[in-house]
Chains A and B, each alone.
Chain A
Amino acid sequence: GAGVSQSPSNKVTEKGKDVELRCDPISGHTALYWYRQRLGQGLEFLIYFQGNSAPDKSGLPSDRFSAERTGESVSTLTIQRTQQEDSAVYLCASSQTGGETQYFGPGTRLLVL
């Protein structure tokens, strides 16, 4: 079946602009995660959605970052007033019930000029 998909694949924006990144999880997966991966670094947890529970936002680095999820489907990660340090690959993952087997999308490469 289809895996996790993300769009756009690449995004170049100017400092101060807002960007919206999209994630389509695997159908039927109730848990969805966003991670950030800076160049040469491991993945940094951002936010976790599990079913209808309140999301775990503990990894969001500032109030410029927010994310939404519609039911158990699409999620969008929004970064407002982008800064150069926001340049990174943003990865989305989903899992069946919040278990440890997370399936990752290909990521969105964000470059803030």
Chain B
Amino acid sequence: GENVEQHPSTLSVQEGDSAVIKCTYSDSASNYFPWYKQELGKRPQLIIDIRSNVGEKKDQRIAVTLNKTAKHFSLHITETQPEDSAVYFCAASPSGGGADGLTFGKGTHLIIQP
């Protein structure tokens, strides 16, 4: 089955700096890669996603890049703010479209230092 590795497990950055979280996946058939943000005790919420026919996608301060050849994708957050502090999860869809569920990385705890 699919295996998703996520790094780092904890990331501390100064407010205003950029943060980058990286994930690798194992199943070359995967074609959907979402990123979720989870605040303490809350539900995960989708912040951005990318499909395999696109190399990069941007939404204001958040961007995701995908390298299908190397089987890795990354989340980039620019101009970080205190409200960006949370746990971020990457995921991959082994069957395409997420129909068979998602395989998640173990998460990155992002800490924004004032």
Q: Does B bind A?
A: no
